[in-house]
Amino acid sequence: MVVASKGFSSFIDFKDKPPKRCLDIGTGLGLWVLSSARTWPESTFVGLDMVNIQPPLQVLESEMADRVEWVHTNILRNKLPFDDDEFDHVHMQCVALGIPENKWHDVFEEIRRVMKPGATIELLEEDAIFPILPRWYTNPLRAHARGPSTIYPGAVQQPPSYPSSFVTSELAHEHELLETLYHDVWSNRFINPTPSSCIPGYFGAFFDRVLAPPVLNFFTPPLAPFAPLPGVIKGGGSTHTLLRPSSSNGSSDFSRESVSSLLTPLNTENMPDPSLTHSPTSTQPTSAGSVKSSLSPTPSLTSLHQEQRTNATTPNTEHSNGSTTNGRAPPVRRDSGAASVQSTTDSHDSNGSTGAKVGRRPSVLLSSAAESTSLGGAHAVSLIPTDSLEDQEEQSRFMHLYRAVTFVLSTKEAMWEELAARVAARDPELRRFGWGEEDYTPHASRARFETAVDQYQSDMRGRISLWHSLVKNGWELPPRDPLGKTEIVEEMRLREDILASHRLAVEDTNEPDVPCRKVRLIVGIKDSNS
């Protein structure tokens, strides 16, 4: 997304002289190669990866296929199968979490060997972050027997992660076991889970004129509106009832009185008719692809960007350890209460009408000096397409969370290997997560592990609210079968409990504003004199 927001294939502005021969390390599906091949019609490309998952060349346009080559090898075990000084540009993206720290020297040495003097290299990497669900979200889910299956369309009811005798309140959060295993995956493989902090040091030892903007943070999205309920009678017609999350001042856009009217079983006049069919258009806008929402747009980064560019001319920048580095740009600091970084948006009541404007926290920011250093001053900062990023729709934040969660789930078998090793060693630490004597077997532990993963995936599916992003982009709301009166009552109670819990969390100033993704860009050149 960051690359696409730049508007072309590289963060480096080659102007009218694009590189003639390019190497994409860790090409995966070959998306960067295919996109760049269209952008640079005179260039040739090599996409390198361990596995053959790229599209066959015969399915590509002949003109493009003649300029593209797929190569498969393991760069941790083998030399790059290319001549010295062969490539004008090297691209790497999301490969750092597959490279142990003691291998970076060999990897960069080989990359430098195949680069021509004066060739460019760019890396775009992200840290391994385990998105956490706070207690204000998971506690209401556990308190209701139906669980998270009631707050988004098409969900599957999941059993609780742990037996009822196990008290999860003693844990830091509901899914602490998986977070512990996730961290073990990296530490036991000698892989730094925060490449944004370690790569610049290795990179600068092999390449010149290095530019490294501060780490780009994508913050966890706000609580999305709940999926509309099919068949709720409101105002004499068949509509959907949409509960919205708390606004920034802690008040709910959906009044408690209107919720209570739907919660009273004896008040049959306000109860829905289960036979009513799903009608998504009743709460959707008149124009396609636009949905009225209490979620605010991404706050502007322009003022922050200008501030950083202005301050970057200062010769010395103080870092968290008290030292100063010549030519490094002072990063933008995040302050949720600063007026300069607040934007305003219309809040909406339960009927969708516009109310008072409220301030919103930033959703995308460059790290502070205490969190990351930068190299290259204002020139480095200008590499980040802040103007394009600020134009991203609010639902893009949900896509970042989705990306982070799918990355966690992709390490499922590696996490199981870590748990199996603990079980074999009869690690007493597992008792914190409910293990009894009967659970220290591969079969029993695997069953508990599968349940924990399923619960995390289910909880996160509701938190991400993918339906919300799809509808915002013009898709139809996924249909749901009509609900019975008892189901409606239980669902509304769950939603009210989540909103009430969320209101308390918003009022609690100690709740952290944490990123769900951290991305770092680094570019450099192989000195033509070396």
Q: What is the pLDDT of residue 347?
A: 33
**Residue type present at position 378:** A
Q: At what angle do helices 412-424 and 176-187 cross, to 10 degrees?
A: 90
Is the pLDDT confidence value at 430 over 50? yes
Share of the chain above pLDDT 70, in %: 65
Cβ(379)–Cβ(211) below 8 Å: yes
Name the residue with tokens 């819990």.
501
Is-contact 40 9, C-beta < 8 A? yes
Alpha carbon distance 153, 242 (integer Å): 13
The DSSP string of 174-193 is TTHHHHHHHHHHHHTTT--S
Mean pLDDT, all residues of the chain: 74
pLDDT confidence of residue 372: 61
Whole-angstrom Cα distance, residue 227 to residue 343? Answer: 26
| Tokens of residue 193, six digits | 């889970």
- Please give the Cα distance from 230 to 352 (Å, whole number): 18
For residue 456, name the pLDDT band (cuts at 50, 70, 90). very high
Angle between helix axes 442-464 and 176-187 (nearest 10 degrees) is 110
- Per-residue pLDDT tens for 27-71? 999 999 999 999 999 999 999 999 999 999 999 999 999 999 999
Cα distance from N-terminal residue to C-terminal residue, the chain:
35
CA atoms within 13 A of residue 197's CA, in its CB half-sphere: 11
- The answer to whether the beta carbons of residues 28 and 91 sit under 8 Å apart is no
374-421 confidence digits (pLDDT tens)? 677 777 777 877 777 766 777 788 989 999 999 999 999 999 999 999
Residue 277 to residue 480: CA distance in whole angstroms: 9
Please give the backbone phi and psi of residue 81, each rounded to the nearest 5 degrees, phi first.
-80, 55
């209701």: which residue's tokens? 144
3-state secondary structure at position 44: strand
Which run of H or of E encompasses 22? strand 21-25
Q: In angstroms, what CA-CA distances link 472 with 238, 287, 293, 521?
A: 22, 11, 9, 30
At the topology level of CATH, where does 2-11+18-126 sit? Rossmann fold (3.40.50)
Higher per-residue confidence, 84 vs 357: 84
Residue 267 has pLDDT above 80, yes or no: no
What one-character-per-residue DSSP string does 223-243 give?
A: PPPPPPEEEEEETTEEEEE--
CB atoms within 10 A of CB 9: 22
Backbone CA torsion sign across 32, 37, 39, 43: positive
- 54 and 27 Cβ atoms separated by less than 8 Å: yes
Instruction: Please tell me the predicted confidence (pLDDT) of residue 26.
Output: 96
Q: Which pTM does this prediction carry?
A: 0.74
Place 82 in a pLDDT band, splitting at 50, 70 and 90: very high
pLDDT value of residue 225:
85
Q: Kindly report, residue by residue over 316-331, the tens digit of the pLDDT.
A: 333 333 333 333 333 3
Rg (CA), the chain: 26
For CATH 3.40.50.150, list the domain ranges present in the chain: 2-11+18-126
How far CA 210 is from CA of 200, 213, 239, 406, 520, in Å, comes to 9, 10, 57, 32, 13
pLDDT tens track for 167-193: 677 899 999 999 999 999 999 999 999
